[in-house]
Chain A
Amino acid sequence: MARTISYREAINEALHQEMERDESVLVMGEDNAGGAGSPGEDDAWGGVLGVTKGLYHRFPGRVLDTPISESAFVGAAIGAATRGMRPVAELMFIDFMGVCFDQIFNQAAKFRYMFGGKAETPVVIRTMYGAGLRAAAQHSQALYPLFTHIPGLKVVVPSSPYEAKGLMIQSIRDNDPVIFCEHKAMYDATGDVPEDSYTIPFGEANVVRDGEDVTIVAIGRMVSVAEEAARTLSSSGVEAEIIDPRTTSPLDTETILESVENTGRLVVVDEATPRCNLATDISALVAKEAFGSLRAPIEMVTAPHTPVPFSDALEDLYIPDAQRVTNAVKTVTEWKS
């Protein structure tokens, strides 16, 4: 039975169900319970934005608060994963990858290959990304392209509560290291989510909306931005097909190419900064593999090549919005060679 719950609740429910199902699943991170060693209540926070709330009391000994030592506890999660556990470590903000990236990209990502196929590292690193909360340059970035670049990592960017739950359960059950990118401005977004456990496979894009005139590939929170644009465009007679890749690694190239072969036009919407991001990656793919189908140059709607600004006046300009997507679609649909 589906009911309407939030993105935050969907992730919490996925963790809950997997911890129930498999006792090798551990949760760890800064304030994932909150209150360790403090005179007040245990599970005071359940994570800085409440995603892990309630797990601490339900699963004694399996929700671990940590010191603010990302290298140590992300590394510990990775080490434990090689020894039969399925840890879910929370790297609170994706920006903090800077203080623990070695453990992720030199250790976890490489074990399997470097050790000749003899290692399995089923770790999930949950992390929140994205702009919109006036959190400024060091708490707002969309850094999933950096992880996508690394062979050995899988990268998940859920766009809705339904996707979040199914992809989290898949992430925990997956036997490779997974970076699970939660958009911090979406935690209160709601949607229909089945109560029962379910998985969404990696590398299978979701066609969010059918359309004949243009393909919009959108990542994470940009899916809802693309949907808003598509509604506007529809009223002026342009039907956009929206594709949510769901995972940036692996990437479902087939669904994207099939769509572009049908529409002949591509707009990629990516909240990341514009150099070497998903927009450039997907554009290069389409330019190479579907060149003959293209009826207009590809458009990319991204953040500018700047850090994320603080002031609302600037941050609102920074984040791709429906108007920019609409403009990009008009550019490709009205393009004349």
Chain B
Amino acid sequence: MTDTLSTGVTRELDENALLDAYRTMRTIRAFEERLHDEFATGEIPGFVHLYAGEEASATGVCTHLDDRDSIASTHRGHGHCIAKGVDVKAMMAEIYGRRTGSCHGKGGSMHIADLSKGMLGANGIVGGGPPLICGAALAAKQQRTGGVGVAFFGDGASNQGTTLEALNLASVWNLPAIFVAENNGYAEATASTWSVAADNIADRAAGFGMPGVIVDGFDFFAVYEAAGEAIERAREGGGPTLIEVKFTRYFGHFEGDQQTYRASEVANARENLDCLKRFRSRVTETGQVEAAKLDAVDAQVADLVDAAVDEAKAAPKPTAADLETDVYVSY
């Protein structure tokens, strides 16, 4: 193990681990910014919800996870998929509706999943994931794998009964579950300051007998630290935690959203509230990672995303033969 970071981060990340985390965040950012551009060309079908600006959350949490662990995601799920190790090219092909996609073109942006990676799916239903994660956590507990389940959900889902039921059940059953409320300020076009009848989503944890933590979502290390504590506690049988990650999204609810409900905070966020910029300045200032190595990651990621788009565009679409397959294991 190498140096710890000087600002209170006790869980050590060596240079390789820091580069991995940076690569994940950069991949998410590049993937989403490219989709933003590509969507504007009209070539991408359906609804696309971008995670840009929120990278530190998925990455800070998933850096702690391994193959024993499961996550459930949201309609804004690309970042969670990438952070849990889903193949980036297969994701891009899926978003383009291609047969080579993660789900053979049958799922699309809102349903990318890879169960072999413990990624139980992006989810088109707000609040769909938390009950499922109770089940993943229950399975890990029954199977004694030491695994955990992590439910990512938004401020909108924090008001869904499914989420509140799942928080209660996770406590009652003492499950190894972590609930990550990603509060990006808006449920579609409605401000969370209006729709959440509490000062903080994390305050609700008290009502379910579990710890609640608030973290700065633009700070990878803050998320990493809070998630590390919660995951360690869960693995040791200490039960669930609710973590509220506060940040803002860089793009609209979906692509095409004119965002007339927002003020000028977006431009400000991109300039001053950027998890990648913060990460870079921090690790270069502490001397943990050389800037040139981060630059190299940027270049590699750009190439990967270029290749992913090129391959997706060239890939075949599903055919009529695929329409009625895979409804059941057997029927």
Which residues of A are at the interface with B, using a C-beta cutoff of 8 A? 24, 26, 61-62, 64, 66-67, 69, 71-85, 87, 102-103, 106-107, 110-120, 151-152, 154, 174-176, 203, 250
Contact = CB atoms under 8 A, between A and B. Distances in A.
A69 B135 contact: no
B135 A78 contact: yes
A116 B106 contact: yes
Interface of B: 70, 72, 101-107, 111, 113-116, 120-121, 123-125, 128, 130-136, 138-140, 142-143, 149, 161-162, 165-166, 168-169, 172-173, 325-331
Given A79-B70, A83-B135, A114-B103, 12 more contacts: A66-B172, A69-B168, A75-B131, A75-B166, A79-B138, A83-B143, A85-B142, A113-B327, A117-B104, A120-B329, A176-B330, A203-B331
A334 to B, nearest CB: 39
B115 A75 contact: no
Which residue among B115, B120, B165 has the maximum number of chain A CB atoms within 10 Å of its CB?
B165
Contact of B116 (A66, A67, A118, A154): A118
Nearest to B140: A83
B162 A112 contact: no
Residue of B102, B121, B139, B149 with most chain A CB atoms under a 10 A cut-off: B139
A159 B325 CA distance: 31
B128 A106 contact: yes
14 contacts: A24-B142, A69-B168, A71-B165, A72-B168, A72-B169, A76-B131, A85-B135, A85-B139, A102-B162, A114-B121, A116-B326, A117-B325, A118-B113, A119-B113
Contacts of B169: 66-67, 69, 72-73, 76
B267 to A, nearest CB: 36
Contacts of B173: 64
Contacts of B331: 154, 176, 203, 250
Contacts of B131: 71-76, 78-79, 103
A71 B165 CA distance: 7
A62 B173 CA distance: 12
A98 to B, nearest CB: 12
A175 B328 CA distance: 8
A33 to B, nearest CB: 13
A102 B128 CA distance: 8
Contacts of B128: 102-103, 106-107
Contacts of B124: 106
Contacts of A79: 70, 72, 120, 131-136, 138-139, 149
A152 B328 contact: yes
B168 A83 contact: no
> Interface centre among A24, A113, A114, by most B CB within 10 Å?
A114
Most buried by A among B103, B113, B132, B169: B132
Nearest to B318: A116
Contact of B327 (A78, A152, A203): A152
B113 A115 contact: yes
B135 A119 contact: no
Q: Which 8 A-B pairs have the closest CB atoms?
A: A75-B131, A79-B135, A117-B326, A79-B132, A116-B103, A72-B165, A83-B139, A80-B135
A68 to B, nearest CB: 9
Nearest to B116: A118
A75 B121 contact: no
A83 B121 CA distance: 13
A210 to B, nearest CB: 28
A252 to B, nearest CB: 12
A97 to B, nearest CB: 14
A295 to B, nearest CB: 33
Contacts of B328: 112, 152, 154, 176
Contact of A82 (B120, B130, B162): B120
A113 B162 contact: no
Given A72-B168, A106-B125, A113-B326, A118 B114 contact: yes
A152 B106 CA distance: 14
Contacts of A24: 142
Given A71-B131, A175-B330, A80 B106 contact: no
Given A72-B134, A82-B120, A111-B121, A119 B172 contact: no
Contacts of B132: 75-76, 78-79, 82, 103, 107
A182 to B, nearest CB: 22
Contacts of B143: 83-85
A85 to B, nearest CB: 5
Contacts of B327: 112-113, 151-152
A114 B138 CA distance: 24
A6 to B, nearest CB: 30
Interface-centre pick from A69, A103, A110, A174 (highest chain B CB count, 10 A)? A69
Contacts of A120: 329
Contacts of B123: 107
B139 A80 contact: yes
Contacts of A112: 326-329
Contacts of A72: 130-131, 134, 162, 165-166, 168-169
